[in-house]
C-alpha cells in the first residue's frame, strides 16, 4: 500500500485515508438516474453492485488530528461482508503509513451515522467485544442526527440506524453532540447541510493557503458533481442539490479541493465549472488498493 495522498494547505495538512473498497447497489447510489447512464462510468457486477471507496480525510494541524468519518471498519457479520464485499478495513494501515497510531487521533467528526461512515468508530476484538477504535478522540456528531438515529420510529430510518447502539456505546463517554456549525480546531469547521439525512454535516478547511471540503454523501463520487445525480437514500434530494451547488460553486471560485467519500477512482480534486457543469480538474487518484497515487483526473 502506498502512503496516503496529502493536500498541503500551509498550517493544515489533509491526508486522504481510506477504509478500503466495497460494493453497493448502483441503483441505490444514483437514485432517479437510469442505469444506462451510470453504468458506463460505474460498471455494475452480476449483482448490480458498483465499486466504491471509503475516503476518510485526516486533517492535521500541530498536535491535533481530526478524522472525518470512519468507514465501515471490521464490525460486519460474515453475511454482510459478502453483501458489501468489504474486509477488515484499512484506516489503521493508512495511519501507520503516516507514522501515526489510532491514539493520535484527537477528534472524530461523523458526517452522519450510516454504517459506512460510523462503523469504523469501533473495532471488534477477537473476543467479539467492541472497543473504541480511537481511544483518545472526542466524537463530534450533530445532536439532531443522534436523536433520529436513537429514537425514530419510522421503519426506514430504524433500519438505516440499527447498528448505532453497537457503534456508540463504546464511545459514549467521548460523544460531543453539537448543533449547527462548529469550529473543531482553528480553520476547520463542521456545518450542517441536511439533504442525505436531516442533519448531515460536511467539514471545511480554510487557511490563507487554500480551502478543502469533504462533502461526504452530498457529492459521494465524481459522477455526483452533476446536480440531479443523487442517491436514492437521500431524505431530501432537492436540499442535497442546493447544498451541492453552494459548496461546489464556492470551491470552483476559490480553486479549492473537494474530496469524494465513495469514488473508486478519485480521492479528491479541484473542481472547475465548464459549460455550466462542474468537472473534476487536477485530482488525486485512487491506487489499486483503494489508497493513493497522485495524478491527474
Query: Which stretches of the chain bind Zn ion, using CB under 5 A?
Result: 116, 217
Taking the complex as a whole, the smallest distance from the CB of residue 64 to Zn ion amounts, in Å, to 25
Residue 119 or 256: which CB sits closer to Zn ion? Answer: 119
Map grid coordinates 450542517 to a residue.
Answer: 192
Cβ distance to Zn ion smaller for residue 12 or 29: 29
Nearest to 233 by CA among 267, 198, 260, 264: 198
Distance CA 142, CA 129 (A): 26
In whole angstroms, the minimum distance from the beta carbon of 224 to Zn ion comes to: 11
Minimum CB separation from Zn ion for residue 56, in Å?
A: 11
Q: Please report how close the Cβ of residue 233 comes to Zn ion at its closest, in angstroms.
A: 8
Alpha-carbon gap, residue 251 to 42, rounded angstroms: 25
Min dist. Cβ of residue 55 to Zn ion (A) = 10
Of the two residues 217 and 264, which places its CB atom closer to Zn ion in the complex?
A: 217
Choose between 217 and 243: whose C-beta lies nearer to Zn ion: 217
Q: Are 36 and 49 in contact (CB under 8 A)?
A: no
CA 222, 232, 194, 73 dihedral sign is: negative
C-alpha cell, 272: 472547475
Say how far apart CA 7 and CA 37 lie, in whole Å.
32
Exposed/middle/buried for residue 93 (C-beta within 10 Å: 0-12, 13-18, 19+) = middle
Residue 107 pairs in a beta bridge with: 66, 138
The closest alpha carbon to 168, from 184, 148, 150, belongs to 150
The smaller minimum CB distance to Zn ion, of residues 112 and 123, is found at 112
Nine cell digits for residue 248:
461546489
CB nearer Zn ion, residue 104 or residue 116: 116
- Residue 221 CB, shortest distance to Zn ion, in Å, is 10
Amino acid at each position: 500500500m502506498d502512503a496516503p495522498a496529502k493536500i498541503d494547505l500551509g498550517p493544515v495538512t489533509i491526508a486522504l485515508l481510506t477504509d478500503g473498497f466495497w460494493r453497493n447497489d448502483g441503483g441505490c447510489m444514483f437514485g432517479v438516474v437510469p442505469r444506462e447512464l451510470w453504468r458506463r462510468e460505474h460498471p455494475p457486477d452480476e449483482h448490480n453492485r458498483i465499486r466504491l471507496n471509503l475516503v476518510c480525510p485526516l486533517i492535521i494541524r500541530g498536535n491535533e488530528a481530526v478524522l472525518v468519518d470512519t468507514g465501515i471498519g471490521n464490525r460486519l457479520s460474515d453475511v454482510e461482508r459478502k453483501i458489501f464485499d468489504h474486509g477488515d478495513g484499512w484506516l489503521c494501515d493508512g495511519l501507520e503509513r503516516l507514522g501515526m497510531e489510532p491514539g493520535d487521533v484527537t477528534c472524530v467528526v461523523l458526517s452522519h451515522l450510516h454504517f459506512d461512515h460510523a462503523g469504523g468508530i469501533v473495532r471488534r476484538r477477537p473476543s467479539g467485544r467492541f472497543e473504541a477504535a480511537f481511544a483518545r478522540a472526542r466524537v463530534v456528531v450533530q445532536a439532531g442526527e443522534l436523536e433520529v438515529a436513537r429514537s425514530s420510529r419510522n421503519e426506514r430510518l430504524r433500519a438505516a440506524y440499527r447498528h448505532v447502539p453497537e457503534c456508540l456505546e463504546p464511545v459514549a463517554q467521548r460523544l460531543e453532540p453539537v448543533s449547527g456549525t462548529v469550529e473543531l480546531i482553528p480553520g476547520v469547521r463542521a456545518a450542517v447541510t441536511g439533504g442525505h439525512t436531516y442533519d448531515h454535516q460536511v467539514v471545511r478547511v480554510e487557511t490563507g493557503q487554500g480551502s478543502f471540503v469533504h462533502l461526504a454523501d452530498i457529492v459521494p463520487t465524481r459522477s455526483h458533481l452533476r446536480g440531479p445525480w443523487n442517491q436514492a437514500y437521500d431524505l431530501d434530494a432537492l436540499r442535497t442539490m442546493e447544498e451541492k451547488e453552494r459548496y461546489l460553486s464556492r470551491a470552483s471560485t476559490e480553486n479549492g479541493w473537494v474530496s469524494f467519500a465513495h469514488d473508486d477512482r478519485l480521492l479528491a480534486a479541484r473542481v472547475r465549472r465548464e459549460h455550466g457543469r462542474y468537472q473534476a480538474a487536477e485530482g488525486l487518484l485512487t491506487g489499486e488498493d483503494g489508497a493513493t497515487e497522485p495524478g491527474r483526473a
